[in-house]
Amino acid sequence: MDKLLGILKSLRSDVDFETETLLVDNGVLDSFDIISLVSELNDAYGIQISVVDLVPENFNSVQAMAALIARLA
């Protein structure tokens, strides 16, 4: 989880990722952020996030992202 939080903080240091649960739904992360994030996650975790996985539910919280990474790893 620390690795994921580090990636998120490097992307958007102004966001409290540990408590925010509607990152996409509330517009905290925009489409450019998601594209950058997907690239970072693919490289850092050796996974391939597909277009099918690009839904708000997978990116609304750090817990959702961790679950996505675990599922794809």
What would the mean pLDDT of 22-27 be, rounded to a whole number? 96
pLDDT score, position 54: 96
What would the mean pLDDT of 47-71 be, rounded to a whole number? 97
Q: Which long-range contacts (CB under 8 A, 24 or more apart) does 17-24 make?
A: 17/61, 17/62, 18/62, 20/61, 21/60, 21/61, 22/60, 22/61, 23/59, 23/60, 23/61, 24/56, 24/59, 24/60
pLDDT score, position 18: 94
68 confidence band (pLDDT: 50, 70, 90): very high
Average pLDDT, the chain: 96
- Give the chain's domains with CATH numbers: 2-12+19-72 (1.10.1200.10)
**Span 28-48, pLDDT tens digits:** 999 999 999 999 999 999 999
